């Protein structure tokens, strides 16, 4: 919010913090400044901070709806002209409906939009119920179900890359693509989230709300326009075409030592790792497996999408030439804020004979000089919600369908398998993806954009 305000994206606003903590406005300002100093990727101008800090107000939950309404009325009175309200519910699922009821009791539904944090429900029944209860207060067009992965420039760049380039659009289908990987390993542990994580697990925390959403962007048909409704409809068509998740196509893992974490059941069956194979039963993707993997305390923190192309016949190449020895050609997207992509292919070594090796062409946002223009994911999404743009947000239909295809897994989950912190997960992940191989770890790293020379 500080960056959006100080950069001029939001010309005027007032921010009211609400939580269980018994704070006042100065207490919120102290927390905000510490967070900005620790996490901001931009240098803090003291004049900007002074102006921003004046926009902050705080109401403890204990003060009730009347005090909240009074604070909002005072904030709106200080703004010239008509204003809109954006409610950001950064709360666990069990607190979502009480927060919505508080807003309703305070009379803060009109002229408002509400951002809902993940996970949205915990299964199909709870998601349907939550949507129904939400719609008693807010209309669907007022609700923004946030997924910060879709706020990244790299995720949106998939649409531009797919549909704006004649080289790739014709081959984005089952005739040319062998399989797809969406891989989001994390090195982080639980931190202070053991209570939340113990009740949620990796599948609910990451797959339904993040990885499936990325899958929707990768697999969707071309929308009629880049407006929110056509994009949401094409993504929902993908979700409608998804086959149910079979437990036999899933590996659940738990890192050694998880059960000793504070707040964790000593006999916990919660997964801290999950890898799965799923399919999309439509004309474009029938028969193409999608492999998804994510987990805590893994070897590296990465966020990649990798498409493996079908291999051509190798009969013309002599034995020992090296063709095919390092797997198929890949197109790889790195979903980091400073996005990168790589196209790998086989090329000939100079000299006599036919000896081939894997080469790659790489692009990084750093190469363009645009890196300073990149908004962080939450900055982009909050701004979109303020503008009423649903393009990068999940719909009620989409989220319910994803929980529906997850029912077999949630009802009969396979047992968790232990893996060592710092590894890539349980060994059975290699059986899941066979005869293919996981794209991570990379055999060669991304090229350093700051490196000089060849």
CATH number for the domain spanning 79: value is 3.40.50.720
Q: Do 96 and 134 fall into the same domain? A: yes
Taking the C-alpha atoms of residue 69 and residue 48, their distance in angstroms, rounded to an integer, is 28
Distance (Å, rounded) from C-alpha 407 to C-alpha 402?
9
235 is known to lie in a ligand binding site = no
Look at residue 238 in the predicted model and tell me its pLDDT.
Answer: 96
Residues facing residue 177 across a β-bridge:
309
Low-confidence ranges of the chain (pLDDT < 50): 452-454
226 located within any domain: yes
pLDDT attached to residue 284: 96
Q: Same domain, yes or no, for 246 and 362?
A: yes
Q: Do 272 and 368 share a structural domain?
A: yes
Are residues 181 and 86 located together in one domain of the fold?
no
Instruction: Supply the pTM of this predicted model.
Output: 0.86
- 76 plus 189 within the same structural domain: no
Beta bridge partners of 164: none
43 is in an annotated binding site: no
Q: Which two tokens stand for residue 377?
A: 């994911």
Residue 354 maps to a domain:
yes
User: Do 27 and 51 lie in a common domain?
Assistant: yes
Q: Within this chain, do residues 240 and 108 fall inside the same structural domain, yes or no?
A: no
Q: What is the rounded CA–CA span in Å between residue 122 and residue 411?
A: 12
Residue 248 lies in a domain: yes
State how far the Cα of 368 lies from the Cα of 371, in Å rounded to an integer: 7
Phi-psi region of 287 (alpha: psi -120 to 50; beta: other; left: phi over 0): left
Q: Which residue has the tokens 């095919």?
A: 324
Do 137 and 165 fall into the same domain? Answer: no
Is residue 265 in some structural domain?
A: yes
Structural domain span for residue 210: 152-374+416-433
**Residue 296 marked ligand-binding:** yes
Under DSSP, the state recorded for 280 is: B
Asked if the structure places residue 410 within a domain, the reply is: no
> Does residue 171 share a domain with residue 72?
no
Q: Is 300 annotated as a binding residue?
A: no
Residue 379 domain-assigned?
no
Question: Domain holding 340: CATH number?
Answer: 3.30.360.10
Residue 393 belongs to a domain: no
73 lies in some domain: yes
* Claim to verify: residue 286 and residue 259 sit in the same structural domain: yes
Q: Give the chain's domain count.
A: 2
For this structure, is 210 an active site residue? yes
Among 148, 169, 191, the domain-final residue is 148
Determine whether the annotation assigns residue 314 to a binding site: no
pLDDT score of 454 = 38
| pLDDT, position 348 | 75
pLDDT for the residue numbered 231 = 86
Instruction: Give the residue from 271, 272, 274, 310 showing the smallest Cα distance to 292.
Output: 274
Output the CA torsion 38→42→48→53 (10° steps).
Answer: -30
Single residue among 148, 181, 200 that ends a domain in this structure: 148
**CA 278, 392, 276: angle at the middle one, nearest 5?**
15
Question: Would you state the pLDDT for residue 324?
Answer: 65
Three-class SS of residue 260?
helix
What radius of gyration, in Å, describes the C-alpha atoms of the chain? 24
183 & 303 share domain: yes
The predicted-structure confidence for 356-405, as pLDDT tens digits, reads as follows 777 777 777 666 655 555 678 888 899 999 998 888 888 899 999 999 99
The whole-angstrom separation of Cα 86 and Cα 130 is 20
Is there a single domain that holds both residue 113 and residue 251?
no
Q: Which of 3, 87, 210, 390 is catalytic?
A: 210
How far CA 131 is from CA of 125, 127, 347, in Å, comes to: 10, 6, 53
Domain end, chosen from 96, 125, 148, is at: 148
The continuous run of DSSP H or E covering 287 comes out as none
186 is known to lie in a ligand binding site: yes
């Amino acid at each position: 919010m500080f960056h959006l305000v100080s950069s001029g994206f939001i010309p005027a606003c007032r921010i009211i913090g609400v939580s269980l903590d018994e704070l006042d406005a100065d207490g919120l300002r102290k927390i905000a400044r510490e967070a900005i100093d620790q996490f901001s990727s931009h240098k803090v101008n003291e004049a900007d901070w002074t102006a921003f800090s004046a926009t902050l107000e705080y109401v403890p939950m204990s003060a009730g709806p009347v005090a909240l309404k009074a604070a909002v009325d005072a904030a709106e009175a200080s703004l010239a002209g008509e204003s809109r309200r954006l409610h950001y519910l950064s709360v666990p699922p069990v607190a979502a409906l009480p927060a919505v009821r508080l807003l309703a009791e305070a009379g803060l539904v009109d002229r408002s939009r509400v951002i809902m944090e993940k996970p949205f429900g915990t299964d199909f029944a709870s998601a349907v119920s939550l949507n129904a209860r939400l719609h008693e207060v807010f209309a669907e067009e007022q609700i923004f179900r946030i997924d910060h992965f879709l706020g990244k420039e790299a995720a949106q760049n998939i649409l531009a890359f797919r549909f704006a380039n004649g080289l790739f659009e014709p081959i984005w289908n089952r005739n040319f693509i062998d399989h797809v990987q969406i891989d989001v390993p994390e090195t982080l542990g639980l931190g202070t989230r053991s209570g939340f994580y113990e009740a949620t697990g990796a599948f609910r925390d990451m797959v339904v709300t993040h990885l499936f959403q990325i899958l929707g962007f990768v697999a969707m048909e071309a929308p009629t326009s880049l407006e929110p409704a056509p994009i949401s409809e094409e993504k929902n068509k993908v979700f409608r075409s998804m086959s149910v998740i079979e437990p036999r196509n899933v590996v659940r893992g738990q890192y050694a030592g998880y059960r000793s974490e504070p707040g964790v059941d000593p006999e916990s069956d919660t997964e801290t790792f999950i890898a799965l194979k799923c399919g999309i039963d439509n004309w474009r993707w029938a028969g193409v497996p999608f492999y998804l993997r994510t987990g805590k305390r893994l070897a590296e923190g990465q966020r990649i999408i990798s498409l493996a192309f079908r291999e051509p016949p190798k009969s013309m190449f002599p034995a020992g030439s090296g063709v095919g020895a390092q797997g198929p050609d890949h197109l790889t997207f790195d979903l980091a804020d400073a996005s990168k992509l790589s196209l790998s292919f086989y090329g000939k070594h100079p000299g006599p004979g036919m000896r081939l090796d894997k080469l790659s062409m790489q692009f990084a946002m750093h190469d363009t000089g645009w890196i300073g223009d990149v908004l962080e994911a939450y900055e982009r999404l909050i701004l979109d919600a303020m503008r009423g743009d649903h393009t990068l947000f999940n719909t009620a239909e989409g989220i319910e369908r994803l929980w529906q295809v997850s029912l077999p897994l949630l009802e009969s989950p396979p047992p968790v398998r232990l893996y060592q912190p710092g590894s890539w997960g349980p060994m059975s992940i290699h059986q899941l993806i066979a005869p293919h191989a996981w794209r991570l770890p990379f055999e060669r790293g991304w090229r350093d954009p700051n490196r000089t020379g060849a």
